[in-house]
Structures are given as C-alpha cells and as structure tokens.
Amino acid sequence: MRSPPTRPMVFNSLSFLVFLAISLGVHYLPLSWRARKVNLLVASSLFYAAWNPLFLPLLWYAITLDWFLAKALHAARTQARRKVLLGVSLVSNLGLLAFFKYGPFLSDNTNALFQALGVPLQVPRIDVVLPVAISFYTFESLAYTLDVYRGQEKPWRSFLDFSLFLTFFPHLVAGPIVRPHDFLPQCIEPRRATPPQLLWGLLLLVLGVFQKTVLADALLAPLVDLVFTPGAKPTTWEAWSAALAFSGQIFCDFAGYSLCAIGVALCFGFHLPDNFQSPYASVGFSDFWRRWHISLSGWLRDYLYIPLGGNRHGPMRTHVNLMLTMLLGGLWHGASWTFVVWGGLHGLFLVAERLLRPWLESLRWTRGPAGRFAAVAVTFVCVCFAWVFFRAQDFGTAFTVVKAMVGASSAGATRLLSRLDMLLAVLTVGLLLGVQWRYRDEPLPRIFESVPWWASAGAVTAMLVALATATGVDRAFIYFQF
C-alpha cells in the first residue's frame, strides 16, 4: 500500500492557520445558522480535498449511502428487510475499508500462503493509495446506521447536519471518533463560541501543536528512529530508552492532535469528546483502555465487544471476546501482523488482569498506595513493551529491540544513542508520567484554573517561543496513516 500524498492541511502548518482564520471569519459573519453550517460543510470538504481531491467522492458516497439506508431501516416493517439493509451498509462500508486499507495486505498474504502450500496461483497485488481518514469516518458512519438499526436513534431530519457530522474538519482526519448523539444535537441551535470558549479553544490548539511539534517530533522522534531503523543493533539501555521515548512520542503526537481537534471545534462553538485522560497513570489495563484513545475503545466496546457477548456468557467466552476485540482493534490500526501482535498483547494483558484480579484484591498491601503504585508501574512497563510491535516496521526489527530489552542484545551491537539522548528520553517521559499521575482524574480546564494566572501565561508564552524556535523534520501525525 502506498503512502498518502502530500499533507498540506495539518494543524501545525501555516496553510491551516490561514484556512482556520478564513473559516472563523465567515462563521462569525451575521449570517443565518443554515448559511453558517453550509460554510462549515464547504470548508470541511475543501479541507479534505486539499489532501487528495480524488477521494472526496468516496467520503460523500459514505455520507449519502448511510443517510438513505438509515431512513430505509427506520421505515422497514420486517426484521428480514432491516437485516438486509444493515448488511448493505456493513458490506459497503467495511468492503471499501478492506479494499483500500487491507487490499495489499490480503493479496500479499494470500500469495505467501499459496507459495507455502505449493499452489501454482498468483493473486494480482492490490496497490492503492490509502484514503486519508477512511478508518475514522467509516466507524462514525457505521455508528449512525447501527444506532438506527438498534432503535437507539431515529434518522436525523437534516441531510446538511448529517453531512456536517461526518465531514466536520476538526475531527475528520484522525478523530476523535465522534458518535451521532454527541454531535448532531449541536446542529439544531446556532453555535458561536463565547470569548472565554474561543480563548480556551486557541489555548488547546497551542498546547496540542506544542506536544506534537516540540515534544513528539523535535525531542523524542529522532531517538526512536535511530533505534527502530531496520538493521540497527541497540544495547539494552538503548532499547528501553527508545521504547520509553516512543511511549512519549505517540502520546504527545496523538493526544496533541486530539487537543487541536477539540480546541478548533470549540472555536466554532462545537464540543468534541475527550480522547485521552492520563493513560500512563492507569491502574491496570482495563483502566488504560478507559483512558487511551477513549473514542476508539468506546466504539469497540459498544459495537464489537458487547455484540459478541461481552462478559455475559461466562469467563471463557469473556476472554475470547476480549481477545477478538483487541486483535481486531490492532488490525484497525494498520494492515500488518505487527499491529495484530500489538492488539493480541493487549488482549492477553486484559485476560491476565481478569484472572489475577480476585487474588490480587485479596492481598491487603495491594489496596494501599504501594499496591496502586505497583499497578501503575507494571501497566506502564507492559504498555511500553507492546509499543515495540506498534512502532517496528517488521518483526525482525521488533524482535531485535525486544531481545535487547531483555538483556540479549544482538552480537555486534553499536552505540546508537549518547548518554545525553537516553537521559533526555527518561527525563521527558518521567516528567510526562509525573504530570499524568498528579492530575490523573483532573480535566484540563481545572488544571489551568488550579495554577496562578501568571504561571499559565508563562507556560503558554514558553510554548509559543518553543514552537517558534523548534527545528526538526516535518512529520505527519502518526494516526494519519490509520
């Protein structure tokens, strides 16, 4: 699968700032609410077309298909017809996702299987460009159709509102994955940000871009790249430093994007759901998935894990459902067996946690501060270990890093990172962990309110200065590839 084309409309680009200023200017003109929604719809379509205009019809196909299918589902009089209509939505949406995202993966693995079995067949390789955002808007569109099928929602009255729901540019490319009931009711009444909301939205944008550009790209990514380059032979300390650095990089990258999306949406008066809540301060793996990529984990829970049976049919079935959900969640992230292994590891972590919980809860010390700290430490170390398979380009690289992490460095290991590099990784991620532990259950607005105004102003000024002076490779947000 070929990489997406150039990325002219990223939150940390000058072109996006110009685009945002123009869109906000039109949004705050004395126009009718319908006219302002049309402006947002046009702006969102232009935003998507700036990535690759050839894929805009694909987005609009998904919008139109599920709009009419949901209406037909609601009007259907027989369960058989409802199932057929739901099947059309599932096959169409998931079929397009499978073709574009998993076509090369499936064709390559099919040919490898034929070769291993000695079958003289060769499937033509599917080589296509992955449409930006297809994983995200597919899940959002399916959520709408599934909610109507279940009777949890009625078809929305306005096609304009529904189109805006799926195309709204702040969350379009990399989430959060927004549910219909979270967004569509906001389209009823005119929305404009109050001055405090506008200021807070811009502050979230600055914080998100700072996390992405300064912390993820300038500080941590170069260290990660050196160790995870295919053929590199890291030492034990270098492997752990790189795993720590990647845990910080992917959090700052993706949480930074989510903050940008939430902040930009708030500038227009819309509220998007939080996507992260101190995930590295999680007490256990189920807690981790309540705090990491919240919109995806919630989607997988409600539309996959619970329909599979959840925890309603005994321990064995529960464990199978957990594994299936996490394996498919791993595959959602990318068409590679390394992502499947990453998801499988988290499935094993969740199963082990369920099996060990009764015994652990029977130990008195686990209920105190020491037990809580141990749970956070074990969870974070295991999450870091699993990140190796998420980051590595292939199993060879992943196993080289894993071997080094357990003290079995490859022969001929050479120094890849200086002591200063490793210290930088430890200090940066250590500071990140400390902040998340300190403010584990505090929403971001309350954190800002808890410190003096001059401290907040100083922090924002420092972030702006760091953004102005940051140097490094211009990197796309990691989750754009998903």
Report the pLDDT value the prediction gives residue 8, as an integer from 0 to 100: 57
Yes or no: say if 169 and 225 are a contact pair by the CB < 8 Å rule.
no
Report the pLDDT value the prediction gives residue 6, as an integer from 0 to 100: 45
Cα separation, 380 vs 403, in Å, equals 19
- pTM to 2 decimals? 0.92
Report the pLDDT value the prediction gives residue 411, as an integer from 0 to 100: 64
Has 346 been annotated as catalytic?
A: no
Report the pLDDT value the prediction gives residue 52, as an integer from 0 to 100: 84
Mean pLDDT split into 10-residue runs, the chain, 482 residues: 52 88 95 96 94 90 95 93 95 92 85 83 80 91 95 94 96 91 95 92 94 92 94 92 96 94 96 95 95 95 93 91 95 91 97 92 84 93 97 94 86 80 93 92 83 84 88 71 66
Report the pLDDT value the prediction gives residue 118, as an integer from 0 to 100: 83
Catalytic residue among 27, 171, 293, 333: 333
Report the pLDDT value the prediction gives residue 69, as an integer from 0 to 100: 96
Nearest one of 236, 240, 199 to 223, comparing CA atoms: 240
Nearest one of 168, 143, 169, 261 to 209, comparing CA atoms: 261
- b/e map 220-241, b = 16+ CB within 10 Å: bbbbbbbbbeeebbbbeebbbb
